[in-house]
């Protein structure tokens, strides 16, 4: 059980590695730990293994020449960024609608609401006796581009490019 | 004068520099799997080296194509991954050993001198302020 915990702890630190490589490392560590625990006992085998985080860092340096790309961080960032942008746009739309209805609960007509420059397109609100439908207010392509560029930076995705990986490894190995 | 009469502990940085060579040499002597290599390192006196240092070092050698690995079934459990040097590994070993011996040849005459308790005077004349 404790061997499995060590194996899966290592696996959790290696989540940025390709799946195949991670499975191979898990398998090898498990075999080595079993051999070691048969020889010196589980406690000593785990003690001799040392710090698992340091070991994982060594594996990542071997693979990427550094911490490596983080797909999880990238995914979280993308979700957070788009969630925020959608929330922000909805807040603007709701504020406009609420203001218009507060001024005239039976409002009828078509209204244009200027978007945010370089971020959102303009909105068109169609009021019919206080009921409203809207068109527009979407993110501009530039925003998508910026969010994806930031996601690449935040998740260090350039390290997944084989040429960059080789260069990093070359720098480490001299 | 001081003499080196303390129990030797191995500088991790120094060890890291030479670990690849040791592993290649040991694998050239006999194919081994990870834990067996750790045991062999302990047997030669490197008892303070952690298993967690050796396994990634083996992974690095494999990634650099200096060792190849094959699975060998074991009577005491799952198959073990045995390593052996490749042609590139043998070349790296030969080159590394030559480099290491040259390094030792230069540094040993200096380091093997007994350590003086205080430094001698400088070669040039010193004027006190």
Residue A95's SS3 state is: helix
Q: Is residue A169 part of a domain?
A: yes
Instruction: Provide the pLDDT confidence category of residue A173 given band limits of 50, 70 and 90.
Output: low
Name the average pLDDT for chain B. 86
Nearest-Cα residue of chain B relative to residue A10? B52
Q: Residue A53 has which token pair? A: 């985080």
Q: Are residues A10 and A57 located together in one domain of the fold?
A: yes
Q: Is residue A91 part of a domain?
A: yes
Instruction: Domain ranges for chain B, please list them.
Output: 12-111
Please answer yes or no on whether B52 and A50 come within 8 Å at the CB atom. Answer: yes
* Closest CB to A59 among B36, B56, B77: B56
Q: Is residue A18 part of a domain?
A: yes
Q: Are residues A77 and A138 located together in one domain of the fold?
A: yes
Task: Return phi, psi of residue A12, to 5°.
Answer: -65, -35
Q: Are residues A94 and A140 located together in one domain of the fold?
A: yes
Task: Return phi, psi of residue A134, to 5°.
Answer: -135, 155
List chain A residues with CB under 8 Å of B78. 27, 30-31, 34
* pLDDT computed for residue B8 by the predictor: 58
Q: Is residue A153 part of a domain?
A: no
Q: Are residues A18 and A52 located together in one domain of the fold?
A: yes
List chain A residues with CB under 8 Å of B99. none
Q: Which domain holds residue A115?
A: 72-148
Reading chain B (129 residues) residue by residue, the pLDDT tens digits are 444 444 456 777 778 778 999 999 999 999 999 999 999 999 998 888 888 889 999 998 998 899 999 988 887 778 899 999 999 999 999 999 999 999 999 999 898 888 888 888 888 777 766
Q: Is residue A31 part of a domain?
A: yes
Q: Is residue A112 part of a domain?
A: yes
Question: How far does the CA of residue B58 sit from the closest CA of chain A (Å)?
Answer: 10
The CATH architecture to which B12-111 belongs is Orthogonal Bundle (1.10)
Number of separate domains in chain A: 2
pTM comes to 0.65
Please answer yes or no on whether A35 and B50 come within 8 Å at the CB atom. Answer: no
Nearest-Cα residue of chain A relative to residue B61? A62
Q: Are residues A22 and A81 located together in one domain of the fold?
A: no
Closest CA to B34 of B54, B16, B19, B15: B54
B:35-94 residues touching chain A, CB 8 A cutoff: 35-36, 38-39, 50-53, 55-57, 59-60, 63-64, 74, 76-81
Q: Is residue A85 part of a domain?
A: yes
User: Is residue A134 within 8 Å of residue A89, measured between CB atoms?
Assistant: no
């Amino acid at each position: 059980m404790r061997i499995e915990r060590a194996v899966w702890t290592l696996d959790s630190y290696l989540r940025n590695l390709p799946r195949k490589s991670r499975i191979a490392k898990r398998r090898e560590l498990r075999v080595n730990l079993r051999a070691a625990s048969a020889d010196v006992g589980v406690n000593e085998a785990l003690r001799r293994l040392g710090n698992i985080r340091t070991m994982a860092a060594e594996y990542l340096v071997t693979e990427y020449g550094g911490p490596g790309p983080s797909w999880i961080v990238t995914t979280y960032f993308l979700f957070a960024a788009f969630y925020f942008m959608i929330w922000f746009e909805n807040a603007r739309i709701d504020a406009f609608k609420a203001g218009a209805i507060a001024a005239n609960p039976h409002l009828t007509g078509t209204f244009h609401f200027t978007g945010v420059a370089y971020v959102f397109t303009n909105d068109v609100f169609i009021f019919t006796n206080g009921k409203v439908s809207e068109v527009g207010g979407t993110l501009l392509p530039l925003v998508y581009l910026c969010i994806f560029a930031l996601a690449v930076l935040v998740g260090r995705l350039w390290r997944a490019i084989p040429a960059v990986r080789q260069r990093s490894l070359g720098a480490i190995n001299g | 004068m001081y003499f080196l009469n303390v129990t030797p502990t191995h500088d991790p940085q120094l060890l890291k520099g030479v670990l690849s060579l040791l592993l290649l040499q040991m694998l050239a002597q006999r194919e081994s799997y990870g834990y067996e290599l750790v045991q062999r390192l302990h047997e030669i006196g490197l008892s303070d080296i952690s298993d967690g240092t050796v396994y990634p070092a083996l992974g690095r050698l494999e990634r650099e194509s200096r060792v190849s690995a094959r699975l060998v079934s074991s009577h005491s459990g799952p198959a073990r991954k045995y390593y052996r040097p490749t042609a590139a590994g043998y070349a790296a070993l030969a080159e590394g050993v030559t480099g290491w011996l040259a390094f030792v040849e230069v540094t040993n005459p200096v380091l093997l001198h007994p350590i003086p308790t205080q430094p001698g005077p400088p070669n040039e004349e010193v004027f006190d302020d």
